[in-house]
A = this chain, B = another copy of it.
Amino acid sequence: MKVSELSAASGVSLATIKFYLREGLLPSGTATGRNQATYDERHVHRLRLIRALTEVGKLSLRDIRRILAAAEDAAIPVHHLLGVAQAALEPEPPTTADPAEVAAARTTIDEALSALGWDVDDRSPAVTTLAHTVAALRRLGWDVSPERLVRYGSAIDALASEEVSIRDGDAPREAVVERMVVGSVLYEGVLTSLRRLAHEHHSARRG
């Protein structure tokens, strides 16, 4: 299809498509003339993916570029791609935290992870983020025990296992990364929205 048809099929404006092509977020089409190229369904899909991650997932183009670059870098083994994607998604930890409070939070988290039977790298960015969150809750007077973390972990364990199960099988590399990132970002949104609706429901019942 022509670039104008690609724009119509994806709902992305011509100017934005040209910008993504220049920035390498969208692969070039097949050249059919000096200033012409044709595009196919893979381009439509890639544009939908970028739209979903920017508009719904609120990711920056910089983070999306890092994730897509990892997907295309054959030197990165597939089982490391999740880590690259997660590092791109993780927020910077606050710089003002008290190291002793963060260390105490990490001890609680280690106990919880061990009780959950989860084998994770203790340098994972998600561990750092969680430690800062637990430290902040405690500063506000909340009692965050390992048992409490285990209850939250147990609640989402089966769903998370299913979300990464796409790794089985012989899906092409880019499809695997897409499932991981979309599963991580968009289903995180599903979970967050449903949790807010659950709050509304349970709060109204008590109201």
Per the bound structure, the CA–CA distance linking A154 and B94 in Å amounts to: 33
Cβ contact within 8 Å between B201 and A129: no
Asked if A126 and B82 sit within 8 Å, CB to CB, the answer is no
Would B193 and A55 count as touching, CB distance under 8 A? no
Option from B98, B119, B198, B205 in Cβ contact (under 8 Å) with A157: B198
Q: Is the CB of A160 within 8 A of B195?
A: yes
What 0/1 readout, one digit per residue, does chain A (65-92) give for beta carbons within 8 Å of chain B?
0000000000000010011001001110
Cβ of B124 and Cβ of A167 under 8 Å apart? no
Q: Which one of A55, A158, A206 has the greatest number of beta carbons of chain B within 10 Å?
A: A55
B-chain residues with CB within 8 Å of residue A79 when the two chains form the complex:
203-204, 206-207
Contact A151/B159 with A133-B189, A186-B133 known, Cβ cut-off 8 Å: yes
Q: Is the interface of A mostly helix, strand, loop or mixed?
A: helix
Question: In the complex, what's the smallest C-beta–C-beta distance from A173 to chain B, in angstroms?
Answer: 14
Distance in angstroms between the alpha carbons of A102 and B139 in the assembled complex: 41
- Whether the Cβ atoms of A49 and B119 lie closer than 8 Å is no
Which A residues are within 8 Å of any B CB, using their own CB?
A: 11, 45, 48-49, 51-52, 55-56, 58, 79, 82-83, 86, 89-91, 94, 96-98, 113, 118-121, 124, 126-127, 129-130, 132-134, 136-137, 139-142, 144, 149, 151-153, 155-161, 163-165, 167-168, 178, 180, 182, 184, 186-207
Apart from A118-B197, A144-B190, A160-B202, what 13 extra A-B contacts exist at CB < 8 Å? A51-B94, A51-B136, A51-B139, A56-B133, A56-B136, A82-B199, A86-B199, A127-B193, A127-B197, A133-B190, A142-B186, A156-B195, A168-B206
